[in-house]
Amino acid sequence: MATSTKSLPKTGMRGGPKPGRPNGNGSPNGNGHAFTPRFSASRYRIGMWVAMAAILMMFSALSSAYIVRAASSNDWRSLAVPPTLWVSTLLILVSSVSLEIARRKLKTNRTNSTRLWFWISAALGIGFLASQIFAWRSLVRQGIYVATNPHSSFFYLLTATHAVHLFGGLLALLYLAMRKQPKAGDDLAMAKGQAAADVTTLYWHFMDVLWIYVFFLLFFWK
């Protein structure tokens, strides 16, 4: 009988009628509401989580390559920790804190100091990249290149891949720092600014955690 065309329920997929109602984040505009331009902060948040999942997969792939390669042969020569990397770590940790301050200030609309905190975070981010470049240059001065041994290959690869992704976050930070302040009462521009700050902060914290992971994988795992 299940396949007969006669015993089908009259209404929705699961039997009962369902009232039309907004589903989750689907339609910010309620029925009969005045016309408002469509903007959904959750869209950017979802997009960012999805993008972070992709980045995480890439680092997982490189990590598994690292672990397999480290275990599979006897040509592995571990590098000592370049001291500058501790400075990098400190800088990015502090930048995460300062960016979080900026984001919270934006939420309470204390916009004057917000801009300053965005600039501080961006400066710390630039400091992190400079510190990474310094670490690479110091290794190069010691004659340690990408192809010198598998550990140095992975060191340059993982730090550079992280730096490229962090650079994207840095561009977003600079955008936030230079963004024109919306006029009072311009709710749409306010919401957009808040959403941009939220997803950038999310991404930046992710870069922070990712760096600590990469640092540990490279120098404390093996």
- Is residue 24 a contact point for other proteins (CB under 8 A)? yes
- Is residue 83 a contact point for other proteins (CB under 8 A)? no
Q: Which amino acid is at 125?
A: G
Residue with smaller CB distance to other proteins, 29 or 181:
29
Could you say which of 23, 108, 143, 185 contacts other proteins (CB under 8 A)? 23
- Is residue 1 a contact point for other proteins (CB under 8 A)? no
Compute the distance between CA of residue 93 and CA of residue 87 in angstroms, rounded to an integer. Answer: 10
Give the chain as a 3 state SS string. Answer: CCCCCCCCCCCCCCCCCCCCCCCCCCCCCCCCCCCCCCCCHHHHHHHHHHHHHHHHHHHHHHHHHHHHHHHHCCCCCCCCCCCHHHHHHHHHHHHHHHHHHHHHHHHCCCHHHHHHHHHHHHHHHHHHHHHHHHHHHHHHHCCCCCCCCHHHHHHHHHHHHHHHHHHHHHHHHHHHHHCCCCCCCCHHHHHHHHHHHHHHHHHHHHHHHHHHHHHHHHHHHC
Could you say which of 89, 153, 192, 213 contacts other proteins (CB under 8 A)? 153
- Is residue 143 a contact point for other proteins (CB under 8 A)? no
Residue with smaller CB distance to other proteins, 40 or 111:
40
Residue span binding other proteins (CB under 8 A) among the ranges 25-33, 86-94, 198-206, 211-219: 25-33
- Is residue 212 a contact point for other proteins (CB under 8 A)? no
Q: Are 131 and 84 in contact (CB under 8 A)?
A: yes
| Side-chain-facing half-sphere of 198: CA atoms under 13 Å | 17
Compute the distance between CA of residue 113 and CA of residue 163 in angstroms, rounded to an integer. Answer: 28
Could you say which of 123, 126, 146, 191 contacts other proteins (CB under 8 A)? 146
Provide the minimum distance between the beta carbon of 63 and other proteins in the complex, in angstroms, as a whole number.
9
- Kindly state the number of chain residues that form the binding site for other proteins, as judged by CB under 8 A: 62
Residue with smaller CB distance to other proteins, 47 or 83:
47
Residue with smaller CB distance to other proteins, 22 or 83:
22
- Is residue 104 a contact point for other proteins (CB under 8 A)? no
Could you say which of 55, 116, 126, 133 contacts other proteins (CB under 8 A)? 55
Binding site for other proteins (CB under 8 A): 2-6, 8, 10-14, 17-27, 29-33, 35-38, 40, 42-43, 46-47, 50-51, 53-55, 57-62, 64-65, 68-69, 72-76, 146-147, 150, 153, 157, 161
